Chains A and B, each alone.
Chain A
Amino acid sequence: MSSVKAPFLHSGTRTSSMATWALSALLIPGAIYSMLYPSPFIFQLIGYALLGGLAEGLYHLIVRRKLKFNPMGSALTAALIAASVPPSMPFLPMLYAILIAIWIVKLPMVGLSLRFNAAMVGRLFLMQVYPGSIVAWGTPTPDVISTATPQELYRSEGFALELPQLLFDRIEGVWEELFLLVPGSPGETFPVLLLLLGGLLCYRGIIAWRAPVAFLLSFAIASAAFGDSVLFNLFSSATIFSAAFIVSDPVSTPMSKGGKIGVGILIGVSNAVIRHTTYYTEAIVYAVLLGNLFSPLLDRTAFMLRGRRLNQRLSQPHWAG
């Protein structure tokens, strides 16, 4: 009989259910998207998630690791990729992106302190190799056009959306008679809903609030400093989506409280800088990968600083009787 050691109590979430929670949260905007703009997107999302799980299963069969097999994490990665690109993305590029994300980035890096956000790497791959498809204003159904982002509309046409349109995302503007424009990738379409879901995940203890909150705040402040519209930037493109699902990813962001805030600021500011100075509307991908790169360093710094603070306290004067 193996001896059990203290503590004899566990509290909070277990890893096995974390990815399931996040995935279920992601399915909600997916389902609403499918209902609002009649599109089979939700089935696509589920299909890709299954594909992700399958990819992890294959990896386990072939590479054989001692890891506990829990395909939910990979399913979530695949679903995140699917939700962050236009639904018109063809199957083959998606398959490549998912396999790259899971087989090259996610699973081999388990246990390392430097880890990249697999979904973002998958998206980077799509951006680099299939740049046409990622901004393709494809037509999920004949009379619906999916645009890359309102950000892009704004960049290329000087066409800025009004706030209510951004929040509830049904563009009723110049093109309305012709087409129903659906801004952004499906996952990014309902910022208010995503904000609520992010809050729910925080409340349930699935994600930690520090990194996303620091990200949103620093991004807003940096955008304001550059003279860009804060609300427009916050509620357009993948900002809220990333806060809820990408920046909050535990594995690729620091563990320490200070590190989490640091990485949030790093991602937020660099996102604002890239958006402001270049025409990359997918700035967030680079910003997140940059943040991932710095995570181990941030953790180490936080650890050192904590030690230094403790040592300083040693030399504090204290009551001497």
Chain B
Amino acid sequence: MLRRIKIDWADLPNFHPLETPFPAPERIYPGLEEITPESFPDFLNEIGLVGMGGSGFPASEKLRAGIGAHTLVINGVECEPGITIDQTVLLHHALWVQAGANASAKAIGAKRVILAVKDHPAQMVPLQKLYPDYDIVPFPDRYPTGAEKLILKKLTGNMPAPGIRPYQLGYIVQNVVSLRAIGRAMIDGFPVVERPLTLAAPASRFYKNTIVPIGLSVREILAAFDLLYDPARQLIVGGGLMMGCEMALDDLIEKTTTSLLLLDRAPLKKKERNCIRCGACNTACPLDLHPYSLVERIQKGKTHSTAFQAQMTECFLCGVCSAVCPSDIPLVQTLTEGKKCLP
């Protein structure tokens, strides 16, 4: 049975503190009138903005393609479980986010701005106060609702067809942190040089949302927060529990690093067993795919059927199937390989 993935150390229904080294803004840069569909993408290039929800896709291209879309969606639905940075930015940097959202909406000519957030009743009231002009749409707090596809599914009522980009449906989905960066650049003249992220070491119950300069090394950040790291026992994960990857001490924080997590190694060492054909992976897949059937076909090289190709294209490697597999089969790793079988 599919249940919500519970993360006790991050399941905070109330407000998340944010540590920031500088004061919040007080006024909106009066340049909103100057924004045009032609100049805005160049402005985004100039400040070096990429999709800060983790995709890293150049924001200018996304925006240029989306000119003419009728709706701008502010994606504040945290994609990864255990990370609360999007909600935190929404609550603490409303002015920047709004500046960024208004500018983007104006540039593409969107009539409507939707604020997609996680369904935390306690946060609804403050959010409504902070964003009175936007339609706030709550999304269930379950991984991976924050994925672009699934947000569109809820908004349009239909699963977007494989390969269809949101702007083809008239939507443009921007991550909260990206919009914040636009606002920051417009108001304070800062290019994208900082990255809000969630920093957590669940074993020592350390949990913080903070803003770090891009380009700092993991070592420096851990030192700044007095976090002890023991490579034999612990593991640094950047970018979330489900889709992130292991980081070394000297790796640098990038624009797309949504989180830094210090996890214990022991519970992650799982030995793969035989598939018991329980179907937990099928039931859990948010796109109703057949993960183990795909994996079987990849391993046997039977990757030419249309059914396989259609499902493999659709899969966005969210990792839910691996997470629920009672036999600890690393399904998503094989699926990543399988992506290469696509024409």
Contacts and interface: CB of A to CB of B under 8 A. Distances in A.
Contacts of A10: 267, 270, 323-324, 328
A321 interface: yes
Contacts of B296: 113
Interface stretch (B120-128, B211-219, B272-280): B272-280
Contact of A257 (B163, B283, B323): B283
B1 A68 contact: no
B273 A255 contact: no
A251 B273 CA distance: 13
Given A257-B288, A307-B310, A3 B293 contact: no
Contacts of B81: 9
A314 B159 CA distance: 11
Contact of B246 (A4, A251, A300, A318): A4
B45 interface: no
Contacts of A302: 290
Interface stretch (B13-21, B27-35, B237-245): B237-245
B315 to A, nearest CB: 11
A9 B5 contact: yes
B308 interface: yes
A311 B310 contact: yes
A250 B279 CA distance: 7
B305 interface: yes
B44 interface: no
Interface stretch (B86-94, B164-172, B187-195): B164-172
- With most chain A CB atoms within 10 A of its CB, the pick from B82, B241, B290 is B290
Nearest to B240: A6
23 contacts: A2-B269, A6-B243, A6-B319, A7-B243, A7-B319, A9-B242, A10-B270, A18-B276, A110-B274, A111-B274, A205-B280, A252-B277, A255-B278, A255-B279, A256-B282, A257-B283, A304-B307, A307-B307, A307-B309, A308-B310, A310-B310, A311-B306, A321-B68
Nearest to A300: B293
Given A4-B265, A208-B279, A307-B310, A11 B270 contact: no
- A13, A68, A113, A255 — which one has the most chain B CB atoms within 10 A of its CB? A255
Q: 5 shortest A-B CB distances, which residue pairs? A: A307-B307, A250-B278, A255-B279, A7-B319, A310-B310
A64 interface: no
Contact of A68 (B271, B308, B324): B271
B152 to A, nearest CB: 11
A308 B270 contact: no
A8 B290 contact: no
Given A307-B310, A310-B310, A255 B326 contact: no
Interface string B166-182: 01111000000000000
Interface residues of A, number: 54
B25 interface: no
B1 A7 contact: no
Interface in A188-219: 202-203, 205, 208-209
Nearest to B231: A1
A314 B275 CA distance: 32
Interface in A287-315: 299-300, 302-304, 306-308, 310-311, 313-314
Given A15-B327, A310-B313, A318-B168, 12 more contacts: A1-B232, A2-B269, A4-B268, A8-B268, A9-B82, A9-B323, A113-B296, A254-B279, A255-B278, A307-B310, A308-B310, A314-B163
B278 A208 contact: yes
A156 interface: no
Interface of B: 1, 3, 5, 7, 68-69, 81-82, 158-164, 167-170, 231-232, 235, 237, 240-246, 261, 263, 265, 267-271, 273-283, 288-290, 292-293, 296, 305-311, 313-314, 319-320, 322-324, 326-328, 330, 332-333
A225 B164 CA distance: 47
A129 B231 CA distance: 61
Contacts of B158: 316
Nearest to A253: B277
B276 A251 contact: yes
Nearest to A302: B290
A257 B282 contact: yes
A4 B333 CA distance: 11
Contact of A313 (B68, B161, B326): B161
B241 A6 contact: yes
Contacts of B279: 208, 250, 254-257, 259-260
Nearest to A17: B326
A302 B311 CA distance: 12
B307 A319 contact: no
B286 to A, nearest CB: 13
B169 A307 contact: no
Nearest to A10: B323
B161 A4 contact: no
A306 B274 CA distance: 25
A306 B161 contact: no
A7 B242 contact: yes
Nearest to A252: B277
A313 B324 CA distance: 28
A111 B242 contact: no
A310 B3 contact: no
Contact of B162 (A2, A113, A303, A314): A314
Contact of B69 (A7, A113, A209, A321): A321
